[in-house]
Each structure stands twice: as C-alpha cells, then as structure tokens.
Structure 1
Amino acid sequence: MEANTLTPQKLFEPQVRYVIPVFQRPYVWDIEKQWEPLWEDVRAVAEELLEARHQQSSAEVPAHFLGAVVLDQQPNPAGFIQVRHVIDGQQRLITLQLLLNATRQVAAKHGRQRDAALLTTLVRNPEHIVDSDDEILKVWPINADRAAFQAAMDDDEANDESKHRVSEAIVFLRERITSWAFDASTDDSSTPSDRLRALTMALALNLKLVVINLEPADNAQAIFEALNDRGAPLLAADLVKNAVFQAAERQHLDVDKLDRDYWDTLSGDFWREEQRQGRLNRPRIDIFLNYWLTMRRAHVVPSDRIFTDFRDHVLQPAHDVQTVMTELRADAQTYRRLADFPPHSVPGTFYYRIIQVMDIAATVPLLLWLTRPASGVPEPARDQALTALESWLVRRMLCRVSIADTTNLVVELLRRLRTATPAEAGQITETFLAEQTADTRRWPTDEEVTDSVQRIRFYNAMTPRRRCRMILEALEDSYRSPKTEEAHCRRGDLTIEHVMPQSWQQHWGADFPADPASIQDRNHRVQTLGNLTLVTARLNPVISNSPWPPTAGAPSPEGKRAGINAHSVLLLNKRLVDEHPDEWTDQAINDRTLALGRRITEIWRRRA
C-alpha cells in the first residue's frame, strides 16, 4: 500500500468519486463527540490565518491533522471519472464534505463568489463530464445515507427539516460558520469577508489527511478488519456487514440490491440505540446478533466474539450469502416483534415477566427460536415450553436460589430441541427441566416454594421491587375469569401496599407486647407476602397507615378495610376484605401467606 499526506484540495480537486461500499456502517458521528470538536479545530486554524494576515507575518500556519483514510482503487475505462472505494475513514470524509459544502453555501449567500467557486470544485465534479447525476458528488454514501447526503449537498433550505443525522450535521455546521463569520467579537479588525476567506483557505490548504491507497494485491477486507476490529469504535454489526458484502461480491451478487432488500432491515436508529445488557450498554443490533448466534449455533457466544463467530461459523460454511441474509432478516423481524405479542398471550406474558421484570435476557435465544417462523414450532408447543421455563425461573427466584446457570441451561435445551420435531418442543422442555438435579438447575417443588414464601421477608427479598409487584399481579390475574374482557390487571400501573403498615406502632400497636422479640417478629411478618396487596398510586397515600377498622385520630376516618373496599376493584382485595370484616391480625397474615404460596404453585406449575 502507498501512503501520502494530502490537503482537502489535493484529495478532492481531481475529477474523482469516493464511493462508500455497501458493507460500511451508516453515518454515526454526532455533535458532542465529533462535529463540535472538528469545528473548533478548524475555526482555530482559520483564526490563526487571520492573525497572521493581520500581523503581515510570513510564518507558516501549522496544518491540522484530521486522521487517515484508506482507499481502494477501482478499475475504470479510460476517459471515465476515477472511482475509489473508501475502506476506512468514511465518517470523516462525509463530515469534511459537509463542512466544505456548508462553508460554500454561507460564502455564496453572502457574496463571496470566489470562495464559493473554489469550494464547489472540492465537493462537485463538473456536470459536463459526468455520465449521470450520481457522479456529480465527490463522495457517494451507502443507501441508508444517500438521500439525506444529496439533500444536504443541495441548496434547498427546505431540506433542513430532515431528522437524518447527515441533515443535522450540515445545519449545525452552517450555523456555526455563520455565527463565527458575522460575530464582530471574533476579531474587530477583520470583516465577515475576511473570515470566510480565511475559513476557505484553512479548509482547502491547512488541513491534512494521511491517504492510504491500496495496491491490487492488498486484501481490502483484511485491512478493514485489522483497522476496525482492534479497538476502533465500530460495532460488531459493522464488521459483520463488511464480511457479508465482501463475500457477496466474491459470489458476484448485486450488493446494492442485497443492501436494500436485506440489510436495510437492520439499519436505522432503532438498531443502533443502546440497550442495557448485564452491566453494560450496547447497541441493540449487537445484542440481537449475540442472541441470534447463540440461538443458531446452540452455543454460548461471548459478546466480544460476535464478529469472529459469525465469520467463522455462519459465513464461511455458507454456499450462498443471500440465504444467510434471508434467514438473518427474518429473524431480525421476529426479534423486533418480541415486545409486540399481545400482553397476556403466553409469549407476551413471558416477555413481560422474564425479560422485562426479572431481567433474565439469557432466555431470549430460546424465545427467539420458539417464535421464529423458520423453527415451525406450533403455538401449543411454543406456549407449553415457555410456560415451563417461566415456572422454572420464577420458582427458583421465590426459593432464593441462583439462576446464574441459565445461559448454559438454555443452550443445552436449544441443542435438544433442534434434534426433535417442532411439535415436541413443549414436552421436551418440560422433561428437560424436570430432569435437572444439580443445585444450580433444580426445578423447585411445591413444598419448597410454599416453605420459602412463608419464611422470607417477601417485600425486601423480591428486588428490584417490580418482581414483587409482578407476583402480586399474577395472583390477581389468577382470581379472574380468562373469558372476561378484564381477565388481567394493568401491568406496572399498581403499587404495592402493606395491609398492616410498616409503621404499625402508631395505629396497630395498642395491645401489642412491647418486648423486643415480639416487635422483631412483627416487623418481619409485616414484610411477608400475606401482608401485601396492590392498590392504585392515588389510593395508597390515603389509606396507607390507617387501622383496619376506623378509630379516632386515624388518617382515614373510614378505616383501611373500608377504604380498600370502596375504592379498589381488584379481586385480590375483594377476597381480603370479605374474609376479614373485623380485624387484620398476625395470624391472618400467616394464613394468607400460606394460601398465596399454594396458589403460586398453581400459577407456575411444575411437572412432577
């Protein structure tokens, strides 16, 4: 390869096109990390040029280094515009073009035609030598950015309304240039024309890039991976895309069509939005690829091995890249719909309770496999499998035993499911879970669950608190008829209420023994499941510390029982007030804890 240091004028003045290959990621630079720092650097160079001119100094203003770009020369017939593929550095090339064009627009608008003409040669090829409109712009982005980039390089102010990041970039740069050029406080001795001239010269001549031109024998893909798979801020998905489209080119596929018809499903802000996975925030597309590889290979794939696993175990054995992309696109669509199942369907309930509330993302590969059309799992078998796994997880949570081995368990279950017919998925899952005998994998029995529920300080033990609320929501749903329109309570909208308040001494301790052991015992009992219910957030403060029957001086003159009865429609509360018309005692708490514990074993059944 050959490396040279070039100014933007040397890089862009020839009649040339720098084409971003389709395997590259979309434009991702933003104001805080890139646009603002770049503008400040360029502005500083322009101000140094102004100062040197003001002092009539002959000293050379130091150039500012922008970084490196790697280019791959493409064969083209004699007489045609040269084409180079941008293997690395596309983000800075696009941004530099936007900065050049923003300066051109400001200069043209304010009568600096000489500067505008110079800058035009750096962003556009002459129209009389091009064969199509595509060849006019010096830089040609991928499909996802193309329309926005063309609009940004145009002079129609209506284009400023776009929310694309490219559009936001040129609006930001144009505003900064205008503000600086027409702000007299910058340098009282310089005019706006002086500043625009200095900025034009700074952009054309006082910026430097290291331009690496690959030679015919160089492996562009290997160089791309070497540059970007060792610490540069590329996503694993960007490297995957690079590998896919390099393979597609070797198979002589239409890569532009492949990008539009397949990879476009995985493009956009939705996929690049960061989501929490474990202790880290990662882009959604990398998280999906992690789950997808785990599902597809039935093998644990560490997050730092996404690209290499995809390349070595999915792409290399593939006879047809399009087949891989067809599968990936379909599964990406399934993954995106996981949160859209009807809330009280079995997959919707599993997603809410296990993924959202319990935060056990290790189950996603199995959920993806069971719900993807390619697996062919019938709905009854799918529901049976998810119900069994949900029971296994909830029971282990209630028994306060570790679920740390869930990832390996899911992978082993996937291996077993893949060797059977899809219709057997439910039965196989139940059998597999029932067979686990290790302490890290046992499916707790009814007796273990009810015993644990009676012993633990439920309110304190079920953390985060949404886990406690989820159990109470499930208990409420269990009292409702599945045939009614209101078969389920509103998830996440209700608050947890202690029937006997945590501050029970004020209105609940008149006849209670004052010895430390009794007080400690009651403090424990107040936190158990039998003393918990659900109410609306609006009702909670009104009744919170009131005694069960009304007494003088209580916060609610009607009493807590009457307040719940009058304002709550939950069946959980209807049973509570109907069964305890006169008092709420320590023994009542114990009895209800046992009853609810047994009901939990009916909600989350275990195969014998």
Structure 2
Amino acid sequence: MQANTLTPQKLFEPQVRYVIPVFQRPYVWEIEKQWEPLWADVRAVADELLETQNLAQPTEVSAHFLGAVVLDQQSNPAGYIQVRHVIDGQQRLITLQLLLNAVRQVAEKHGRPRDAALLKALVRNPEHIIEEDDELLKVWPILADRAPFQHAMDDDPGNDSGEHRVSQAIVFLRERIRDWALEGDENNATDRLRALTTTLARHLKLVVIDLEPGDNAQAIFEALNDRGSPLLAADLVKNAVFQAAERQHLDTEQLDQDYWAALSGDFWRQELRQGRLNRPRIDVFLNYWLTMRRAHLVPSDRIFADFRDHVLAQATDVRSVLAELKSDAQCYRQLDSHPPRSVPGTFHYRVIEVMDIAATMPLLLWLLRPGSSVPPHARDQSLEAVESWLVRRMLCRTTLADTNSVVVELIRHLGLQDPSEVGVATRRFLAEQTGDSRRWPHDVEVIDSLRQIRFYSVMIPRRRGRMILEALEDSYRSSKSEEAHCPRASLTVEHLMPVSWQKNWSAGVADDPVARQQRERRVQKLGNLTLLTSKLNPILSNNVWDNVDQKQSKRNGINQHSVLMLNKQLLAEHVRWTDEDIEERSRTLATQITEKIWTRPE
C-alpha cells in the first residue's frame, strides 16, 4: 500500500468518485462525539488564519490532521471519472463533504463567488463530463444513506428537515458556520468565509492510503476503526459477507437491497442493556442467532470470529446466509408482538421482560423462526416447560446462573428429535436434570418454599412478585374468555393485612413480642397479597378488613370495586382476615401454582 498526506483540495479536486461499498456500515457520527469537535478544530484554524491577516500565504498556519482513509482503486475505461472504493474512513469523507457543502452554501449568500466556486469544485464533478446522475457527487454513500446525502448536497431548503443523521449533520454544520461568519460585524463575513474556505482547502490534512493489487481489503477493514465510533461486530460480519459475495461475482447492490436492508436503521443500532453492558441491538441479535444456529455458547467478543469460521466458511452461496439472517431478524423483531394470550406472548412477557432471563432468547428464536418445522402445539408445550422450570427455581430461591448452558444443551437435544415431539422432549430433558444448578423443583419443594418465604421482599423482586399474582389471576379465568389475561399495566400489589398493621390491626398481638415478630413475616407472605388497580390501592390502604361502617372496610371496597377473579375467590373463601387465613391462602395459592400454572411431570 502507498500512504500520502493530502489536503481536501488535493483529494477532491480531481474528477473522481469515492464510492462507499455496500458492506460498509451506515453513517453513525453524531453531534457530541464528532460534529462538534470537528467544527471546533476547523474553526480554531480559521480563527488563527484571521489573526495572522495573511490569507495570501497560508503555509504559515499549522495544519490540522483529520485522520486516515483507506482507498481501493477500481479499474475503469480511459476517459471516465476515476473510481475508488472507501475501505475505511467513510465517516470522515461523508462528514467532510457535508462540511465543504455547508460552507459553500453560506459563502454563496455572504461570501465571495470565488470561494463558493472553489468549494463547489470539491463536492461536485463538472456536469459536462458525467454520463450518469450518480457521477455528479464526489462521494457516493451506501443505499441507506444515499437519499439523505443527495438532499443534503443540493440547495433545496425543503430538504433540510429529516431524522437521518446526514440530514441533521448538514443543518448543524450550516448553522454553526453561518453564526460564526456573521459574528460581530456582518461586513467581515466575506473575510471570515474566505479564511474558512482556505482552511478547508489547504489546512486540513488526511493520511490517504491507497491499496495496491494483492492487498487484502477485508483484513485492513477489520483492523481499523473510525474516529470515536468503533466497528460493531455486525459491521465486520457485513463486510465479510459482501466481500464473499464479490468473490462469488454476485450483485452486491442488489443483495444489500434485498437482504441486508432488513438489518439496517436506527432500530438495529439502538443500545440494549445486557448484563452490566450496553450493546447495539444488531450485535445482541447476532449473538442470539449464532448461539441458536450452532447450539453452542458464543461469547460477545467472538461474534464475528464465530460467524466467519462456522457460518460463512461453510456457505457456498452467501445468498442463503443472507436470506436466513433476514428471515430470522424479522422474527426476532416481532418476538414481543405475539398476542398476550398466546404461549409465546406469555413466555416473552414473563421470562424475557419480567424475569429478565435473556439467556432463553436463542431457544425462543429457534422455536419461532420461519425455518422451524416444530408444530405450534409442540412449540407451546416446550415453552411452557421452560417457563415452569425457571419460575419454580426462582420460587425455591435456587440459582439461575446455569440457564445459558442448559438452554444451549436443550437446543442441541431438540435438534435431534422429531419436530412433533419437541414439547415432550423438552419436559423429559428438564425433568432428567439432577444437578443443584439445574434441577426442576418438585411440587412439595415449591409449596414448602411459598409457605415459608417473605414473598414480597428482596427474596422475590417486586416485579416478579406481581407477575406471579397476575398468573394466578389468569389461572382463575376461563381460557375461552376474551379477557383471559388480566390488564397488566394498571395493577399493583396490595397487602390485605397492611404492612403498617399496628394502626388498625394490632388487637391480640400488640403486647406479645413473639406474635408481633411472626406477623411482621406473615404480612409479606404470598397468601396476604392480591392485585388492585392503582386507583383503588391507596384508597383501601391501611383500612380494617371488616367493621360496622362497611363503606370504610377493605373487604367491602374490594367487593364493590374489584372485578378480578383472584379477589372474588378470596372473598368467597374468607369472611374474616386473620393470621390463620394468611397461612391457609398461602397453601391454596401455592397448590394452584404447582397444579394449574407451572406444572411439572412427576
């Protein structure tokens, strides 16, 4: 490779096109990390140039280095515009073009025509030599950025608005430039814009690396990062896939439109919390996808290497890999949109959202992906078994740390079964686990635990506790009902005997230290909890269970205003509410959990 230090004028003045290959990531630079620092650097040089009052001899002002770009010369017929592929540095080149064009637009209104003309020559090729419209601009982005970039480079004020980062960048830069140029005496705008034009043309430097025949463009791409925006694992995956597509002589532009576009956009680059770290959704998906596909645990720092070595290396046609990725990505995107009453919808809510056990995502994706041949009844039976295994372990306060390994082994095991037997095979597999970190607790263990633990405390996090009560409510409803699931968003957990029981509930225990201690534990048990709407909960609060003034009693308030089956069952079975009633209801609800909701083969 050959490296040279060039100014923007030397880089962009020739009749040339810098094409961003389709395997590159979209434009990701943003205001705080890149645009603002870049403008500050450029402005500082322009201010220094103004202070010297020596625009005719600009070499006396120190240059500012913008970083490096890596280019790959493309063959083209003699007389045509030169074409180079941008292997690295596309974020810099796009931003630099936006900056040059923003200064040009301001200079055309407030500066010298000569400066505007010089800048125009750095962003557009002469119209009389181009044969296709896409040859007009010096830089040609990938499809996802192309339309916003074309709008940003023209002079139509109607194109200024838009959520795309390219659109936001041109507006940001133009506003900063205009404010700086018109700062103080507007009569000085011409000199200031002349200094800024000189700065952009001659005082910025880039290290331009031109690859030679035989240089490995993919290896170089994988080794480099842009300023402040490290490459995602997905960026490396995309690069490898489309490099392979070029070697297979496939139309990469068409592949980008047909397949990879489904994995592009802000949705996929949004960061998600995973453990202690935030990671882009696209990388999280690829992690799940590889774990599912290989039935093997894939560390987050091995996503690209595993994809390259175990997926791409075995693909004779990358179109099959892209088609599979697109299909499974669309499935992953819809995992949280299954009907609440469906088994997948319930599993996603209870296990993924509330219990936050993302380790089960590869299995959920394996069962629901379009390529799965598992029939719905077997799929549902499998998900119900896994949910029961997890909830029972949580209620027995046993570790869930081995879930990753169990899920991977289960996927591997299910892959060997007849699809129609996947549900039965899941139940059998989990029931056969014997280690302390893997056992599927029996009914008696769950019931004993629920009768003993302070359910509504740190032992069972509050959101999980509410989910258990919601499941109990659902279990008392008819599966044929239009409202087979309770309204999750509006319900809160209510203590029947209040936590502050001393005010209205102290009769018989106020002077007994042992009884007081027992009651402090008992009010947090499962049997003392129910669900009420967020409006009704504070109204009843510390009220007594029943008294002469029925309007003020908790029992009457629940009877009149709650429509939940959980509360109808409560009122039908308990006229009074005492410590003994709490114990009795704890046993009843624990039995309902083990026999009706989260069952286990004995």
TM-score normalised by the chain length of structure 1: 0.96
Q: SS state of the match for residue 155, structure 2? A: coil
Superposition pairs of residues 12-161 of structure 1, within 5 angstroms? 12-53=12-53, 60-161=60-161
Secondary structure, counterpart of 1:344 in structure 2:
coil
Question: What is aligned with 1:346?
Answer: 343
With over 3 angstroms needed to count, the CA separation of the structure-2 counterparts of 1:222 and 1:55, relative to structure 1, is closer
Q: Report if aligned partners of 2:55, 2:195 keep a CA contact under 8 Å in 1.
A: no
The one-letter code of the counterpart of 2:574 is H
1:50, 1:190 within 8 Å by CA — same for their partners in 2? no
Deviation at 1:55, TM superposition (A): 11
SS at match of 2:488: coil
Tell me the residue number matched to 2:587: 594
The 8 Å contact of residues 52 and 59 in structure 1, kept in 2 or not, is answered as: no
Quote the sequence identity (%). 71
Displacement of 1:511 in angstroms is 2.6
- Following superposition, the deviation at residue 559 of structure 1 comes to 1.1
- 1:189-338 aligned at under 5 Å gives the runs 191-228=188-225, 233-338=230-335
Task: Give 1:450-599 correspondences, 5 Å limit.
Answer: 450-550=447-547, 558-581=552-575, 583-599=576-592
Q: Is the 8 A contact 1:550 1:560 kept in 2?
A: no
Q: Is the 8 A contact 2:8 2:201 kept in 1?
A: yes
Q: Distance in 2 between the 1:229 and 1:118 partners?
A: 28
Q: Secondary structure of the equivalent of 1:316? A: helix
Kindly indicate whether the alpha-carbon contact (under 8 Å) linking 2:292 and 2:411 is maintained by their aligned counterparts in 1.
Answer: yes
In the alignment, structure 1 residue 441 sits paired with structure 2 residue 434: no
Instruction: Determine if contact 1:52/1:58 at 8 Å carries over to the other structure.
Output: no
Q: For residues 345-376 of structure 1, what are the alpha-carbon distances to aligned partners after superposition, in whole Å with 9 as ceiling and x for unaligned?
A: 00000000000000000000000010112121
CA distance in 2, matches of 1:549, 1:35: 67
The CA distance in 2 between the partners of 1:154 and 1:551, in whole Å, is 80
Look up the equivalent residue of 1:607 and give its one-letter code: P
Following superposition, the deviation at residue 189 of structure 1 comes to 9.8
How much does 1:22 deviate? 0.3
1:229–1:239 contact (8 Å) kept in structure 2? no
Equivalent residue number for residue 176 of structure 1: 176
> Which residue is 2:357 aligned to?
360
The residue that corresponds to 1:381 in the other structure is 378
Task: Look up the equivalent residue of 2:563 and give its one-letter code.
Answer: V
The range that moved more, 488-497 or 58-67, is 58-67
Count of aligned pairs between the two proteins: 601
Looking at structure 2, the residues matched to 54 and 261 of structure 1 have their Cα atoms a distance apart, in angstroms, of 54
Structure 1 residues 286 and 58 mapped into 2: Cα distance closer, same or farther (>3 Å)? closer
Alignment correspondent of 1:407: 404
- Equivalent-residue separation in structure 1 for 2:414 and 2:225 (angstroms): 37
Residue 514 of structure 1, CA deviation: 2.3
Please, what is the CA RMSD of the aligned residues? 1.8
Contact 2:106/2:174 (<8 A) preserved: yes
1:487-519 C-alpha deviation (Å, 9 max, x unpaired): 210123211111111110011103324233221
Residue by residue over 1:320-363, the C-alpha shift from the partner in whole angstroms, topping out at 9 and shown as x without a partner, is: 10011111111111111111111110000000000000000000
Q: CA deviation at 1:232?
A: 6.2
Residue 155 of structure 1 aligns to which amino acid in structure 2?
D
The one-letter amino acid paired with 1:191 is: N
Residue range with higher mean Cα deviation, 32-41 or 556-565? 556-565
For residue 120 of structure 2, give the secondary structure of its aligned residue in structure 1: helix
Separation in 2 of the partners of 1:228 and 1:95?
Answer: 16
Contact 1:377 1:425 in 2 (8 A): yes
Q: Tell me if structure 2 keeps the 8 A contact 1:497–1:532.
A: yes
